[in-house]
Structure 1
Amino acid sequence: METKDKPAGPEVPLPSKEESEVPPPSKEEPEATPPPPPRPDYLFLVDVALRFLVFAASLTSVLVMVTSKQTVYRGPFPVRAKFNHSPAFIYFVVALSVAGLYALLTTLACISVIWKPICPPKLLLHFVFLDVLILGLVASATGTAGGVAYIGYKGNEHMMWQKVCSVLDKYCKHIVGALATSLFASVLLVLLVWLSTFTLHKKIRQ
Structure 2
Amino acid sequence: MKRVTGSIKSISRIMDSLKIGETVLVIYEESLIPEFSFLFFVEYASRKGIPIIVDDILDSLYVVKQHLEFTGIDTNFFDDVVVVKVGGTNKVGNVYKHIPLEGAYREKYRLAVKELYKKKTNILNIVLGIENLFYLSTKPTDVLGVVSELISFLGKKSRIAIYMINKNIAEMAPINPLPFFERTASTVVYAEPYPRKAVIRIGKCSSLDLVGKSFIVELEDVLQYWDENGTF
TM-score by length of 1: 0.25
- TM-score normalised by L of structure 2: 0.23
Larger Rg: 1
Higher share of residues assigned helix: 1
